[in-house]
C-alpha cells in the first residue's frame, strides 16, 4: 500500500565526509590506535529476558529500554554518520550523558557477510588525511597508520558503549549496503559485489548464516544484547518481487517462518540474546506502517525451539508529517488512535500482557501541530504502558524526520605548553529532546538520575547503574514508570571475569615488564600484536605473561588495558 511509504535520507556524498576549513599540523599530540579487539565482557551479567510484556534482568528486576537509532553502518559509508565531524569517544559519552541507555544500530547483511568471511569493508574517512597525529578519532587509526575497517570501527563503538554504560542491538536494515536500502521490503533477493569481486546473492540462508555468525562472534559481550532481524518487512513498493506475509505456511516470503528459523539459529549460538521481530505491512486485509502490523502474532506467534523468553516484538510508528493516515483526519486522541489503529495492530500485545514491545522507530519533525500532538500522545502511552523504544534518530540526515542532533563540530586549540586540547561540540535539538524524548527516558522519579542497563557501569556522568538503582533508589523514589510507584529488586553481584577455556592464560611470572606479554624481557610491537590476537580469540593464542597487560591490576584484561599499552608503545 503505497500510502505507507516512509522515505529516509538520500545518500550522503563521500565528498561530505571530510572536515573542511582548516588542516593544521601538530607536533605535541599524544596518539592512539584503532582498538581492533571487541570489548571483552566483564561479568556477563547484563543479559535480559522476557516474561509477559516486561523485560527483566537475570535477578528478575524489571528494566526499561529507552534508546535511539544511530544509522550509517547500513549505508555505503559503512560507518555511523557524523564520525567525520566528531570524535567517537566524545560522541558516545555525550549520548550517555543525555540518558540514552540503548542504541539501535542499523547494518546490512552485506556488511555482516564481509565480516564473516574475514574481509570487512573499508569505511569513509573519519580523520583529515587519516592522520594519526590529528586529534579526532585517533582510536580508529591502526598501528600501521591505516584506517580501521568497518568491523574494527564497530568493535571500538561497542567498547565505548561499555565504557559509558550503553547497551546496543543491531538491526538488519537492508540486504545490501545502501543508503536507501530500507525501501526494499524483504530480507532476501538482492545481490552485491563481494570483496573478492564475485557477485553474492542474499538468500534467506545467507541472511540467517550472517546473523548466526554475528551472534556467535559477540556472544561473550553483553554490550550487544540483541538482534532486530529485519527492518520494516513490507510490500513490493520498494522493488521487492513479493510482499512480506505473515501466516503458518512454508512460503519463502512468510516473514513469520523466516523470523522463527532465524531466531532458532541465533539462539543456538547465544541463548541470552534478545530477538526483536518487526511486523509486516498487511495482514488479512488490514494495512499498517512498514514493519508496523503485528496482528498476525495473535494467530501465529513466533515460537523458537528454545521458547519465547527472548522474543520482543518491535513495530514502528510515525506521525502525519512522515505519511498522512486516516486516523489523523479528526481531532485525534490517545483513545481514538488506540481504537483506529494502535490497539489491534500492536498495542494489544502489552494490554493483554502477552509479549514485550519495543517501538523501534518513532520521531519526526516539529511542526507546532498534529505531528507534535502525535509525538506527545505516543510518548505518554509508552511511559504509561512500559513500552520500550528507540527514537529515530540521533543523526539529523534522515530526510523525513530530522534527528535529535542539529550539528556536530570538532575544534582544537594549542595550549601554551604546546599540548593539544580537542573537543567535539554536539548541538542537540533541545526542544525536541526536552519536550518529547527526555520525558520518555528511564530515570529516577525525584532526583532524575538516568538509569542504565549495565549492573556495574553508570550511564554517563549523571546517571546510575542498574545495581545502583535497585540498591538505592527503587524502594525510595522509584522511577518514571508505573505512575512513579516504588519497587524492590536484588542487585546482581559482580564476579571477576574469567577467560574462555580456549584463551586461558598461563600463570604470570613475578618479575614483570609492563606490556611484556610474550615474556621475552621487553615490551615492543610483537607483544601488542600477540595481545590483540588473544583478545580476538585467535585459535591457539596464549599469553605467557598475561599479568603484564593488566595495567589496572583488576585481574582482567580488557580494551582499556589494550588502549593504554598502545599509547605506551607509541609514546
Which residues are the active-site residues? Answer: 232, 361
Across 380-410, b (16+ Cβ under 10 Å) vs e yields ebbbeebbbbbbbbbbbbbebbbbbbeebeb
- Helices 150-164, 88-97: axis angle to 10 degrees equals 40
C-alpha distances in angstroms, 435 versus 32, 317, 333, 471?
Answer: 39, 18, 18, 30
How many angstroms separate the CA atoms of 481 and 387, rounded? Answer: 10
Q: 110, 150 in Cβ contact below 8 A?
A: no
Which residue reads 514508570 in cell numbers?
481
How many angstroms separate the CA atoms of 463 and 459, rounded? Answer: 5
Q: Are strands 286-287 and 388-391 parallel, antiparallel or unpaired?
A: unpaired
Which residues lie closer than 8 Å to 20 by C-beta, 6 or more apart?
none
How many angstroms separate the CA atoms of 77 and 124, rounded? Answer: 5
Instruction: Put residue 194 in one of left, alpha, beta given phi > 0 → left and psi -120 to 50 → alpha.
Output: beta
Q: Calculate Rg over the CA atoms of the chain.
A: 23
DSSP-assigned beta bridge partners for residue 51: 54
Enter the DSSP assignment of 251: -
How many angstroms separate the CA atoms of 275 and 262, rounded? Answer: 9
Q: 177, 190 in Cβ contact below 8 A?
A: no
Give, in degrees to the nearest 5, the angle at Cα 152 between 146 and 157: 120
DSSP-assigned beta bridge partners for residue 107: 172
What does the block give as the cell for 501?
A: 577455556
How many angstroms separate the CA atoms of 511 and 150, rounded? Answer: 39
Q: 76, 178 in Cβ contact below 8 A?
A: yes
How many angstroms separate the CA atoms of 335 and 460, rounded? Answer: 36
Instruction: Put residue 409 in one of left, alpha, beta given phi > 0 → left and psi -120 to 50 → alpha.
Output: beta
Amino acid at each position: 500500500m503505497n500510502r505507507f511509504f516512509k522515505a529516509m535520507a538520500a545518500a550522503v556524498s563521500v565528498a561530505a565526509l571530510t572536515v573542511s576549513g582548516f588542516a593544521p599540523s601538530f607536533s605535541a599530540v599524544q596518539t592512539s590506535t584503532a582498538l581492533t579487539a571487541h570489548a571483552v565482557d566483564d561479568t556477563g551479567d547484563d543479559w535480559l529476558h522476557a516474561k509477559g510484556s516486561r523485560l527483566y534482568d537475570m535477578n528478575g528486576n524489571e528494566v526499561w529500554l529507552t534508546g535511539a537509532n544511530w544509522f550509517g553502518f547500513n549505508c555505503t559509508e559503512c560507518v555511523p554518520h557524523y564520525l567525520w565531524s566528531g570524535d567517537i569517544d566524545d560522541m558516545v559519552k555525550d549520548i550517555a550523558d543525555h540518558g540514552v541507555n540503548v542504541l539501535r544500530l542499523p547494518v546490512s547483511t552485506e556488511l555482516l557477510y564481509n565480516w564473516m568471511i574475514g574481509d570487512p569493508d573499508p569505511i569513509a574517512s573519519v580523520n583529515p588525511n587519516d592522520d594519526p597525529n590529528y586529534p579526532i578519532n585517533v582510536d580508529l587509526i591502526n598501528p600501521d597508520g591505516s584506517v580501521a575497517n568497518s568491523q574494527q570501527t564497530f568493535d571500538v563503538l561497542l567498547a565505548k558503549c561499555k565504557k559509558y554504560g550503553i547497551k546496543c542491538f543491531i538491526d538488519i536494515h537492508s540486504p545490501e549496503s545502501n543508503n536507501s536500502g530500507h525501501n526494499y521490503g524483504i530480507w532476501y533477493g538482492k545481490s552485491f559485489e563481494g570483496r573478492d569481486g564475485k557477485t553474492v546473492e542474499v538468500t534467506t540462508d545467507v541472511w540467517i548464516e550472517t546473523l548466526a555468525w554475528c551472534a556467535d562472534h559477540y556472544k561473550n559481550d553483553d554490550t550487544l544484547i540483541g538482534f532486530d532481524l529485519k527492518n520494516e518487512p513490507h510490500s513490493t513498493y520498494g522493488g521487492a518481487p513479493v510482499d512480506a506475509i505473515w501466516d503458518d505456511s512454508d512460503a519463502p516470503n512468510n516473514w513469520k517462518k523466516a523470523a522463527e528459523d532465524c531466531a532458532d539459529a541465533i539462539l543456538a549460538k547465544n541463548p541470552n540474546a534478545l530477538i526483536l521481530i518487526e511486523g509486516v505491512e498487511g495482514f488479512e486485509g488490514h494495512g499498517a506502517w512498514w514493519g508496523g502490523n503485528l496482528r498476525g502474532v495473535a494467530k501465529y506467534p513466533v515460537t523458537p525451539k528454545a521458547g519465547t523468553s527472548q522474543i520482543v516484538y518491535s513495530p514502528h510508528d510515525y506521525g502525519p508529517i512522515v505519511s498522512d493516515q486516516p486516523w489523523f483526519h479528526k481531532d485525534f486522541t490517545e483513545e481514538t488512535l488506540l481504537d483506529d489503529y494502535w490497539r489491534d495492530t500492536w498495542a494489544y500485545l502489552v494490554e493483554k500482557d502477552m509479549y514485550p514491545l519495543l517501538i523501534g522507530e518513532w520521531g519526526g519533525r516539529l511542526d507546532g501541530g498534529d505531528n507534535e500532538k502525535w509525538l506527545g500522545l505516543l510518548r505518554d502511552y509508552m511511559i504509561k504502558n512500559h513500552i520500550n523504544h528507540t527514537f529515530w534518530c540521533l543523526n539529523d540526515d534522515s530526510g523525513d524526520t530530522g534527528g535529535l542532533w542539529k550539528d556536530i563540530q570538532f575544534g582544537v586549540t594549542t595550549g601554551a605548553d604546546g599540548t593539544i586540547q580537542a573537543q567535539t561540540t554536539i548541538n542537540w535539538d533541545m526542544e525536541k529532546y526536552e519536550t518529547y524524548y527526555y520525558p520518555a527516558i528511564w530515570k529516577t522519579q525525584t532526583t532524575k538520575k538516568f538509569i542504565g542497563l549495565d549492573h556495574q557501569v553508570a550511564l554517563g556522568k549523571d546517571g546510575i547503574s542498574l545495581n545502583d538503582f535497585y540498591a538505592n533508589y527503587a524502594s525510595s523514589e522509584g522511577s518514571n514508570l508505573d505512575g512513579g510507584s516504588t519497587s524492590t529488586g536484588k542487585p546482581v553481584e559482580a564476579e571477576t571475569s574469567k577467560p574462555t577455556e580456549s584463551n586461558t592464560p598461563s600463570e604470570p611470572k613475578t618479575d614483570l615488564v609492563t606490556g611484556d606479554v610474550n615474556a621475552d624481557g621487553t615490551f615492543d610491537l610483537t607483544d601488542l600484536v600477540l595481545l590483540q590476537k588473544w583478545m580476538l580469540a585467535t585459535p591457539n593464542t596464549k599469553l605467557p605473561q598475561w599479568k603484564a597487560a593488566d595495567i589496572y591490576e583488576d585481574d582482567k584484561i580488557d580494551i582499556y588495558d589494550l588502549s593504554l599499552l598502545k599509547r605506551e608503545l607509541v609514546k
